[in-house]
Amino acid sequence: MSTHLVRATGEFRPMLQLALPVLAEQSLEFLVGMVDTYLAGHALPDELKTPALAAVGLMAYAMWMTFTIFASVGVGATAVVARLIGAGETQDAALAANQALVAGACAAVIGTIALYFGADAFVAMMQLEADAAQLATRYLRIIAPSLPFLMVIAVGTACLHGAGDTVSGLGVMTIVNLINVAVSTTLAFGLGPAPNLGWTGIAVGTAVAHIVGGCLVLLLMLGGRAGMQLRLRWLRPNRVMIWRLIRIGLPGGANDALTLGCHLWYLGVINSLGTLAAAAHGLGVRCEGPSYLGAGAFAVAASTMTGQFLGAKDPARAMRATMLSLVAGASLVTAYGVFLYFGGASLTWLYLGEVEPGGENAETADLTVRLLKVVAFSTPFMAALSIISGALRGAGDTKFPFIITLVGLLLIRIPGVYLFALDEIPLPLIGNVPGFGYGILGAWWVMVFDITLRSVLVAARYWHGAWRQIEV
């Protein structure tokens, strides 16, 4: 793909060749968390199911946090590699990939230490209660040693995506999922001669799967996949290339870090509503997850094609590719939104199985279904936000999306969740003031409004057209 994308006739087929493998890859990556959620709802005693779902919900954000640690490097790598490939400078593109792994390794060491030793403080800050807090802390400490391998997956596949190879990541994630399902299920249930480790087994299986995935990506790059050849002399720190990667990726990474930080803040407010709200939120996020997969896949296609077509000095073609990606991705995601609205109960049954009427698990299921009906309205706007932002990143335009994220999260979502979710809002110096008290439903409606507003602002930025002149 990397050698003929620019020379291909039309944009539709290249778009599908880029997006569909990424969709499959991200679906497999999503299945890692899905298996954890499924096992939490089926392999643990009934009294631990709701606390475990609350813990799994926080773990989804924790894994997002680990990927965000590498976001500055990954975003910069995709944009720089794509631009260099489009300009025919394949050796410099391979150098960029090597330096991206060097920068990512530094971030991975810091992240591993922080995650392992800061697990208790992180969980306490997120306001999980009792059993849910203990489960979350144990999971974080088990998963922390696999963080460097998770870095290789994140940064390595970002380089391959920039080179136009979206198939290799699919193969890696297929193997990762097979290992995760096999090891986690075996240890969670104690199948055969294996010990019955329950919750610990779920975490061990996930960690082992990520370690294997990271090793596979390294092997692909050692073999020179898509021209992204690892070479010892290119792994010596190159200040110029590392700065180029960070200069492009830092605003995008800061965007992701801000998004994560605000989501964690938002989650902390939801967790303060109690274990039931935390569990329903975590399960709801897991159920809506596939909508992000479709948007993310076509965002990668828009990003890669934009970068390579701009490298070939063809901005008109870059815009056509983005519009095609937007139509295809938004149609897919909106269709899933319709399913969330009308078929949410089937998803909660999948994760929880049959629940006793009137019990805590039944309350979790019922509340989750109501949340899915709310979030269904945001799906077309979320698709537009993700895909257009991907195109801007591929062009190297990462500063304005960062500002838009700043506005949406800090001025809309965070104040809104306090105002609409809580009965009383604690304000420094003033004391408590009354809120609307709509609980977690109010929090999710605020999220829908935030996504809608940011999608409009990002679309306006793209239509302005400044991305055509940005140098990377």
- 278-295 residue pLDDT tens: 999 989 988 998 898 889
What CA–CA distance (Å, rounded) separates 285 from 264?
Answer: 13
Q: What is the pLDDT of residue 211?
A: 95
* Residue, of 353 and 269, whose pLDDT is higher: 269
3: pLDDT strictly greater than 60: no
Rounded Cα gap, residues 319 and 325, in angstroms: 10
Q: What token pair was written down for 78?
A: 């995709």
Whether pLDDT at 226 is above 50: yes
Q: How confident is the model at residue 472 (pLDDT cuts 50, 70, 90)?
A: low
Q: Do residues 411 and 258 make contact, with C-beta atoms less than 8 angstroms apart?
A: no
Torsion angle of the four alpha carbons 49, 273, 58, 35, in this order, in degrees rounded to the nearest 10: 30
| 155: Cβ contacts below 8 Å, ≥ 6 apart | 70, 73, 74, 77, 100, 101, 104
pLDDT of 32 higher than 80:
no
Residue 355 has pLDDT above 80, yes or no: no
CA distance 133 to 139: 10
Q: If pLDDT is split at 50, 70 and 90, which confidence band does 449 have?
A: very high
Q: Which of 281, 285, 273, 259 is nearest to 418 (CA)?
A: 273
399 pLDDT higher than 50: yes
Q: Tell which wins on pLDDT, 22 or 471.
A: 22
342 token code pair: 């009308």
Tell me the C-alpha to C-alpha distance, in Å, between residue 79 and each of 106, 113, 308, 311: 20, 29, 9, 10
At a CB cut-off of 8 Å and minimum separation 6, what does 258 contact?
A: 402, 405, 406, 409, 410
pLDDT tens digits for 145-181?
Answer: 999 999 999 899 889 988 888 788 888 888 988 998 8
- Judged by average pLDDT, the poorest of 62-66, 267-271, 358-362 is 62-66
Q: What is the pLDDT, as a whole number, of residue 405? A: 86
Q: How does residue 139 score in pLDDT terms, banded at 50, 70 and 90? A: very high
* pLDDT value at residue 439: 95
Pairwise pLDDT comparison (427 vs 337), residue with the higher score: 337
Q: Are 385 and 410 in contact (CB under 8 A)?
A: no
On the question of pLDDT at 436 being above 70, the answer is yes
Tell me if 252 sits within 8 A of 402, measured CB to CB.
yes
Directed axis angle between helix 439-464 and helix 239-271, to 10°? Answer: 150
pLDDT single digits (tens) 228-248: 889 888 999 888 898 888 888
Q: Taking residues 63-77, report their average pLDDT.
A: 77
In terms of Cα–Cα distance, which of 381, 378, 96, 266 is closest to 389? 381
Percent of the chain with pLDDT over 70: 97
Q: What is the pTM of this model?
A: 0.76
CA dist 356 and 342 (Å) reads: 23
Contact in structure between 338 and 376 (CB atoms under 8 Å):
yes
Mean pLDDT of 96-106: 92
Going by pLDDT thresholds of 50, 70 and 90, the confidence category of residue 9 is low
Q: Is the pLDDT of residue 7 over 80?
A: no
313: left (phi over 0), alpha (psi -120 to 50) or beta: left
Q: What is the mean pLDDT of residues 204-213?
A: 93
Kindly give, in sequence order, each residue whose CB lies less than 8 Å from that of residue 383, ignoring residues fewer than 6 positions away.
291, 294, 295, 298, 326, 329, 330, 332, 333, 334
Q: Between the ranges 145-154, 166-175, 186-195, 371-380, where is the mean pLDDT highest?
A: 371-380
If pLDDT is split at 50, 70 and 90, which confidence band does 2 have? very low
